Chains A and B, each alone.
Chain A
Amino acid sequence: MAKVFKTDRRLFAGRYDSLNEIREFVAEAAQAAQLDSQGIYAIQLAVDEACCNIIDHAYGGEGRGWIDCQVDVRSDGLLVTLIDQGRSFDPERVPPPQIGKPLKAVKPRGVGLYLIKKMVDKMEYRTIAEQGNMMRLFKRKG
C-alpha cells in the first residue's frame, strides 16, 4: 500500500482563467511526488483537459460552478482528485477520436478524454450522490 506523504486541496472557479493556477497547483505537487519532467507535463495536461471538460460539458460554460481539486503526494506517484457538481457523463460512451482521418474530415470530439487516458496511469470516474462527479487521475513516478 502506497504511503500518502502530503495532501492539499483547493477550490477553483470553473473558468478558463483558473486553468493556469490549477496546472501550477498540480505541478507543485507533482514535483513533491518526484515525477520527472515528462510526468509533470503529462499530469498537468490530463488535469487541464479534465477541467475543460468539467467547464464545457458538466457545467455547460464558464462561471457556473466550482472545481474541487485535491492532490495526494504518495510514495508511488501523484493522485489528483477533481470534483464537480455539474452534469455527469459515462466515459465508456464517449467515442474515441478519429485518429488517422484525413485533415478535412477530422473533428475535435473525444480528443480531451483520450488524452487524459493516455497521459495518466489510471483514470477513474464516478458520481457520488452527496458529493458530485469525481475524477481520479494517478500518475506513477519514475
Chain B
Amino acid sequence: MEIKHSQFKRCDLVRLSGRLDSATAPLLEEKLEEITEAGRFRLVLDLGDVDFISSKGWWVLINTQKKCKRFNRGEVLLVNVQPQIRDSLELVGMGKYFKIYDDVASAVGSF
C-alpha cells in the first residue's frame, strides 16, 4: 500500500493505492494517527487506486472517523470508492458513517 499525504489550509488529503487488509491497515493507522495527533481532523481520503478493503481496513477508517468527529467540524470524507468496495461497506451497514464524494475537489471544497 502506498500512502501520499498533502496538507491544505483547511484539510488534509491522503491518497491511497493498493490493498487495505490486515497486513497494510497498521501502516494507514500510523499515518492517520500522525495527522490527528498534529491536531488536524478534516481529512479527505482518496481511495481511487485502492482495489481491496477488508474489515480490518474499515475499522481503521471508522476509528479515525470517531476521533475526528469529536472535534468541531472534523470529519473523514471518502472519495472515489470503487463499486465492489462500496457494496461491501453498505452490506455491513458502515456506509452511513461516511460521506462519499466522486471527486477530490468537491470533498476538499466541502470543508
Chain A residues, Cβ within 8 Å of B38: none
Query: In the bound complex, do residue B92 and residue A16 qualify as a contact, i.e. CB atoms below 8 Å apart?
Result: no
- Known A49-B54, A106-B97; judge A118-B91 contact (CB<8 A): yes
Q: Main SS of the interface on chain A?
A: helix
> Total number of A-B contacts with CB less than 8 angstroms?
66
**Contact partners of A111 in chain B: CB under 8 A:** 55, 58-59, 92
A99→B92 CA distance, assembly (Å):
7
* Main secondary structure on B side of the interface with A: helix
Residues of chain B within 8 A (CB-CB) of A49 are: 54-55
CB within 8 Å for A112 and B23 given contacts A97-B93, A99-B92: no
Which B residues contact A (CB, under 8 angstroms)? 19, 21-23, 52, 54-56, 58-59, 62, 65-66, 69, 84, 87-88, 91-94, 97
Would you mind naming 9 contact pairs between A and B with Cβ atoms under 8 Å apart?
A19-B23, A48-B54, A103-B66, A103-B97, A104-B66, A108-B55, A108-B59, A114-B92, A118-B92
